[in-house]
Structure 1
């Protein structure tokens, strides 16, 4: 370990009521690309923020080339040779490439900036790194991939020894990813240590030398990429032991007629930049789950179906009829309901009452010229408050005053009021107590028994096994398989998520 350039020992970080990191160790070697992996909430971002001075170092130590350091800000980190490039490039799109490369440190002639020197030095820097960009071009006119490379070039020119790339490929196409990897390998060969934070398994095994896995704020381990099979990586991220896998049987008796006309039949539906073209059929009375690691494309798939992200390829059939969905209201009018992943951002309207949050979708469906009477609103709200056992002082209580689980029930009530044929539930039990989780799972099965077609997304495989009669598996924006019957077990699911040990994204099925 003589070539270790960065070492973090016993790093801990606590937020009110949450132990975000617990005695985490991390070591980065000079001239290596090191993947930092873990599911949502594993502690990856917190560890990076402690390293770069966004968060104070609460416990443990950080050394660079054997010297103890403490970064109180990103500026301190940069002075110590640590630079971060985020998915969202934090440069100035209204300035040129050259201006962004040297902003704050421009070469001068006396009191004035030497623009010739800026452009000349920019061109040399870009040429040295094989980045195809014109120093005089506005950064905002460049692709996201080029913008990220410009941010990397700026960091390298500031004597960067450790480069952190935080989800840099999420918005890039395959060609752009290939160019970024070429640059990363060049920097590695020049001795830069690179921390690569990503959720794309294929990319990890294509470009990384080592992998460190975090889970629930703790270190699972560090491994040579060539010695860690993909299926074991998935198991370590999810916290499953292949020697002790319980087959959890669904409590739902599957009575789905798979020969009937699907309620939803997506054929080659895709949205550039988020989800590759896929096929998906959902039948009456069926609960089909979407599974995969964080960022695999689960939410993006249902958003493309629902019109939250307008599909730019394929055809969609609803009850056998070809339809065109340009926006969510079109989907609502066709009998769809959608509970989004982020209830606070995309679900609840915080300052409105429980009653108003429940009736808002049905009112939108009826239109502004067919306003619901106050009596209709009150009766609808009271019906679902009672049916779903929503704990609220009254129907007029602001929804922001309710617990997370009860907010989730209100959003479910909103869509049940519209009597949808097809219901999308994206992480409906995230962040709520076990008792409420069980109630929502039972409700999903009851709705299927009533003939609703349901797509269910959850990060908890056990929950999906309890509720789903079939599961579609996603990886890196592709639908890579479907599982049903005896295949619905944790081992088969994780093996499908992990995919081939030989690499290469599979085509959508």
Structure 2
């Protein structure tokens, strides 16, 4: 039996003249956890889509050798049949179906021509035990959290007798406990003989779990590092990923000039009618001019709900309390009111809420402030092009042109487009909700540099982040939230990870 379960040889793939992969070689040993990393747009997801049959044989050049045999997958079902399963960041589950229906969807347990539902439920229980998930197989998927849904995806793969499991950013939407549980499961699957490929931007997780790491850059294989030889470290990975040393991922801000309060809220409470409970409770906070205020807390602590309640209340919460902007009391009944008052909000879910993925960069950049480039309801196309090119250049959006469809951009470049869209409204206060979620270390550095530039130009920023190092690296002050309340306010000098976590679990 070959040492390699997978060999991808000289894989090249083009999209309308753009080379996404150029002669990539990628080898994975049987029974290892192999991490595939690189900046956004490096070609990681494209390579995995070639492997899984999303891009069928004939649309790329090179060979896929799986378990010693050359493969020519024409569709996803061909790779599944061979024992390859891929789990994407956006989970492919049916929310209104039960856990057992999802696990065996398309792979039903049959008795003759009929589905044997009793046996399906029994086998589902066995799969759930394998992934250490203690839920009833009869519960609806939509009633479970993201971490549990991720485990159901893995159970679904195991039900198909997977040999090679591919996970694309599996911990991007998970909290630290859920992430650690998932990594521990991958270690257990390894002991059961299942090989895993994991794409991740979280370098600490990569270092903790990888047997080997392959780095892609600009569609090419840069190197493969071996943990058993002591080759894997954060500085080495970053150097190979970005092609240069990044001494400090959080660029220093010189000549800080923090002024008077720009935004102040008192006794701020938001009641979610659908949930039937308060999601923000009696919050007092302020943001000064020229300041980055970090908001830390665990998932479900009320950080996003606080941001949305300030930004014109798009979720229609019942609000109580007072909001002052430059000392003047304001009431925002709609996001448009907040935008007109100089407040912008970059959502944590750029694909779901932040961007029109089927439209181009130009249309996405201008959509939040069409009045500025319109006359009598008609958009001035020349102005729209000028504005889009300005932000494409100033934010260093890597794209062939402003006509490129946003859905085809990498995560980091999508985030820059989302940022450009809101900079076009010329806000005095920018709320950034998870500004670097799902983007690589090089793109993070660029986002941080942009944030510092905006602050130096007089803007104020509220930054919500689940990465404590990011909160500590970029903030001037930090508020910590737990169960809808502010449990602490810390100057950056007194803030550290331990203190924040104590307040976050208050």
Q: Match for 1:149 among 148, 151, 155?
A: 151
Q: Match for 2:231 among 224, 227, 235?
A: 227
Aligned counterpart, 1:21? 21
Task: After TM superposition, give the deviation of residue 322 of structure 1 in Å.
Answer: 9.0
Instruction: Tell me whether 1:407 sits opposite 2:395 in the alignment.
Output: no
Aligned counterpart, 2:5? 5
Deviates more, 1:12-21 or 1:333-342: 333-342
List runs of 5+ in structure 1 lacking aligned partners. Answer: 270-278, 291-299, 363-376, 382-394, 413-424, 435-443, 485-502
Correspondences of 1:128-277 after superposition (within 5 Å):
128-225=130-227, 227-241=231-245, 257-258=257-258, 260-263=259-262
Rounded to whole Å, the distance in 1 between the matches of 2:217 and 2:341 is 41
Task: After TM superposition, give the deviation of residue 180 of structure 1 in Å.
Answer: 2.0
Rounded to whole Å, the distance in 1 between the matches of 2:30 and 2:96 is 35
Task: After TM superposition, give the deviation of residue 109 of structure 1 in Å.
Answer: 3.3
SS at match of 1:120: helix
Task: After TM superposition, give the deviation of residue 283 of structure 1 in Å.
Answer: 5.7
Instruction: Tell me whether 1:345 sits opposite 2:356 in the alignment.
Output: yes
Q: How many corresponding residue pairs?
A: 412
Alpha carbons 1:11, 1:25 under 8 Å: kept: yes
Normalized against structure 2, the TM-score is what? Answer: 0.63
* CA shift digits 1:219-269 (9 cap, x unpaired): 2212135532213322322221469x9xx999xx95x633x21435899x9
308 and 53 in structure 1: CA distance in 2 versus 1, 3 angstrom threshold: farther
Alpha carbons 1:473, 1:482 under 8 Å: kept: no
Alpha carbons 1:94, 1:138 under 8 Å: kept: yes
Instruction: Tell me whether 1:477 sits opposite 2:479 in the alignment.
Output: no
Alpha carbons 1:12, 1:60 under 8 Å: kept: yes
Task: After TM superposition, give the deviation of residue 307 of structure 1 in Å.
Answer: 6.7
327 and 194 in structure 1: CA distance in 2 versus 1, 3 angstrom threshold: farther
List runs of 5+ in structure 2 lacking aligned partners. Answer: 269-283, 295-303, 402-419, 437-442, 476-496
SS at match of 1:104: coil
Alpha carbons 1:287, 1:467 under 8 Å: kept: no
Choose 1 or 2 for highest CA Rg: 1
Rounded to whole Å, the distance in 2 between the matches of 1:49 and 1:183 is 24
Task: After TM superposition, give the deviation of residue 60 of structure 1 in Å.
Answer: 1.7
Aligned counterpart, 1:335? 342
* CA shift digits 1:264-302 (9 cap, x unpaired): 5899x9xxxxxxxxx999765x59799xxxxxxxxx999
Deviates more, 1:328-337 or 1:189-198: 328-337
Rounded to whole Å, the distance in 1 between the matches of 2:313 and 2:189 is 39
Rounded to whole Å, the distance in 2 between the matches of 1:504 and 1:157 is 41
SS at match of 1:345: coil
Task: After TM superposition, give the deviation of residue 17 of structure 1 in Å.
Answer: 2.5
Task: After TM superposition, give the deviation of residue 349 of structure 1 in Å.
Answer: 10
Alpha carbons 1:215, 1:237 under 8 Å: kept: yes
178 and 326 in structure 1: CA distance in 2 versus 1, 3 angstrom threshold: farther
Correspondences of 1:37-56 after superposition (within 5 Å):
37-56=37-56
Alpha carbons 2:38, 2:215 under 8 Å: kept: yes
Q: What RMSD, in angstroms, separates the aligned Cα atoms of the two structures? A: 5.4
SS at match of 1:25: strand
Normalized against structure 1, the TM-score is what? Answer: 0.63
Alpha carbons 1:339, 1:426 under 8 Å: kept: no
Rounded to whole Å, the distance in 1 between the matches of 2:109 and 2:369 is 60
